[in-house]
């Protein structure tokens, strides 16, 4: 059977008797949670683990680590999730981020790692010939790496430990201790990258550079990145100042500010209508029944506005017909937010789900007109 056979063509709702004849009660409960739209297209495959129903690598990774059949558990990659999140937030070259992620995940092909994969080689570090070559050894504990850290005056050798994640946390702590505009904030990660790069050059190209030379390369790379990317982006970025002033719609239009919230026991929303002069028209009313057509909707739910304006799909909303919606910050929408909470409170006390108002309440006047006149 096809999904369309379970849908009532007249009401665009699920055909419950048909569901009861062919599905189990638990499955019916899950089916009824799927919202149907009058504007739905033909059936097609969608990805149910993102809001816009589009597959992403991130959602795929999350799915395979959270949903699995019994006996088929997928082992999470090693490494701290907190450190990994901090890595992806860094304002640094993408290849450095990927390198750092591999460091935390234990995914660098060190001699020790290759031995665990069945490759019969000597696990000793070729640079110092003293200890096994682990990730922590190459980046922190090898005499070559420790010399780089001492010359950088960033991390004294006595604070380095045998625990890789503790050393990485120390780097992030150092970075957070510096001001946002400090050029050396990212230098520690360039040092890690050059330590690994120097190790590969020594093994594959037989180049043995002095630690000071490697540190100089790290400093030069960090300085170049900071000047050409960080400063350029900060200089060209325009500072957008949020205003609390309500903006009127174009002449001849009606602006409808709306707010909505969903809870465990009750959903609710509020609407306020004003004309192009800021005159209050109504709140919590049916716009189309009143004959209003040139309506400018404005709310502080950016996700909803994006879905409607760009005619995107949503896992819960489905297809939304094309209309004009604007996003506005919460300060501009405080009147509707205040109205919504008042409506919700009164609805609970009066045992009613809808309240209509055609005159402005005293408590709402300041929110309606003060933000428009200042």
pLDDT of 308 > 70? The answer is no
Per the model's pLDDT, the better-predicted residue between 244 and 8 turns out to be 8
Rounded distance between C-alpha atoms, residue 101 and residue 176, angstroms: 19
pLDDT of 72 > 80? The answer is no
Give 12's strand partners.
none
Rounded distance between C-alpha atoms, residue 147 and residue 194, angstroms: 13
Least confident of 58-67, 277-286, 308-317, 358-367: 358-367
The answer to whether 184 touches 174, Cβ cutoff 8 Å, is no
So what's the pLDDT on residue 5? 87
From the number of C-beta atoms within 10 Å of its C-beta (0-12, 13-18, 19+), residue 188 rates as buried
So what's the pLDDT on residue 373? 38
Residue-wise pLDDT tens digits, 252-269: 888 888 776 665 566 666
The answer to whether 188 touches 154, Cβ cutoff 8 Å, is yes
So what's the pLDDT on residue 298? 81
Least confident of 75-84, 145-154, 298-307, 309-318: 309-318
Per the model's pLDDT, the better-predicted residue between 273 and 368 turns out to be 273
Rounded distance between C-alpha atoms, residue 13 and residue 22, angstroms: 17
CATH superfamily of 254-373: Ribonuclease H-like superfamily/Ribonuclease H (3.30.420.10)
Per the model's pLDDT, the better-predicted residue between 254 and 28 turns out to be 28
Per the model's pLDDT, the better-predicted residue between 276 and 83 turns out to be 83
Rounded distance between C-alpha atoms, residue 326 and residue 279, angstroms: 20
The DSSP bridge pattern shows strands 13-14 and 325-327 to be unpaired
Structure tokens at 228: 């050409």
pLDDT of 369 > 70? The answer is no
So what's the pLDDT on residue 344? 46
Q: Return the SS3 of 317.
A: coil
So what's the pLDDT on residue 235? 59
pLDDT of 144 > 80? The answer is yes
The length of the chain in residues reads: 374
Structure tokens at 278: 């800021």
| Per-residue three-class SS string for 264-285 | CCCEEEEEEEECCCCCEEEECC
The answer to whether 255 touches 262, Cβ cutoff 8 Å, is no
The alpha-helical segments, DSSP class H, found in the chain are: 16-22, 25-32, 57-66, 81-88, 94-104, 111-116, 135-136, 143-152, 164-176, 187-204, 211-225, 231-236, 302-309, 334-350, 362-365, 371-373
Least confident of 49-58, 220-229, 329-338: 329-338
Rounded distance between C-alpha atoms, residue 331 and residue 325, angstroms: 17
Residue-wise pLDDT tens digits, 77-115: 788 889 999 999 998 999 999 999 999 999 999 999 999
| Stated pTM of the model | 0.53
So what's the pLDDT on residue 206? 92
The CA radius of gyration of the chain, in Å to the nearest whole number, is 30
Residue 189's nearest CA partner among 44, 113, 314, 86 is 86
Per the model's pLDDT, the better-predicted residue between 150 and 280 turns out to be 150
- The average pLDDT across 182-211 equals 92
The DSSP bridge pattern shows strands 254-262 and 13-14 to be unpaired
So what's the pLDDT on residue 51? 78
271 CB neighbour count, 10 Å cutoff: 21
Rounded distance between C-alpha atoms, residue 272 and residue 372, angstroms: 14
Share of the chain above pLDDT 90, in %: 35
In this prediction, residue 181 has a pLDDT band, given cuts at 50, 70 and 90, of confident
> What is the domain partition of the chain in residue ranges?
3-66, 81-236, 254-373
pLDDT of 45 > 90? The answer is no
Q: Kindly report the average pLDDT of the chain as a whole number.
A: 77
């Amino acid at each position: 059977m096809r999904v369309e056979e379970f849908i009532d063509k007249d009401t665009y709702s699920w055909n419950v008797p048909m569901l009861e004849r062919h599905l189990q009660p638990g499955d019916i409960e899950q089916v009824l949670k799927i919202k149907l739209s009058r504007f739905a297209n033909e059936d097609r495959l969608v990805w149910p683990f993102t809001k816009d129903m589009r597959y992403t690598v991130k959602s795929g990774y999350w799915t395979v680590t959270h949903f699995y059949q019994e006996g088929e558990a997928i082992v999470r990659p090693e490494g701290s999730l907190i450190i990994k999140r901090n890595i992806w937030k860094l304002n640094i070259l993408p290849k450095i981020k990927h390198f750092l992620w591999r460091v935390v995940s234990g995914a660098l092909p060190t001699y020790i790692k290759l031995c665990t994969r069945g490759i019969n080689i000597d696990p000793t570090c070729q640079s110092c010939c003293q200890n096994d070559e682990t990730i922590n050894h190459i980046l922190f504990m090898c005499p070559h790496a420790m010399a780089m850290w001492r010359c950088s005056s960033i991390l004294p050798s006595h604070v380095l430990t045998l625990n890789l994640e503790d050393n990485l946390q120390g780097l992030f702590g150092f970075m957070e201790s510096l001001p946002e505009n400090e050029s050396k904030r990212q230098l520690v990660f360039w040092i890690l990258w050059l330590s690994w790069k120097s190790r590969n050059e020594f093994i594959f190209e037989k180049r043995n550079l002095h630690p000071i030379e490697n540190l100089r390369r790290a400093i030069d790379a960090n300085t170049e990145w900071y000047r050409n990317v960080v400063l350029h982006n900060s200089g060209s970025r325009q500072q957008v100042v949020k205003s609390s002033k309500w903006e009127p719609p174009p002449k001849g239009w009606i602006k409808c500010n709306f707010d909505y919230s969903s809870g465990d026991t009750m959903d609710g929303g509020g609407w306020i209508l004003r004309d192009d002069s800021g005159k209050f028209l109504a709140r919590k009313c049916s716009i189309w029944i009143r004959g209003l057509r040139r309506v400018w909707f404005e709310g502080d739910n950016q996700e909803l506005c994006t879905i409607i304006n760009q005619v995107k799909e949503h896992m819960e909303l489905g297809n939304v017909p094309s209309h004009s919606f604007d996003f506005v910050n919460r300060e501009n929408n405080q009147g509707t937010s205040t109205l919504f909470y008042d409506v919700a409170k009164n609805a609970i006390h009066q045992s009613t789900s809808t309240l209509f108002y055609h005159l402005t309440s005293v408590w709402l006047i300041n929110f309606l007109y003060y933000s428009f006149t200042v």
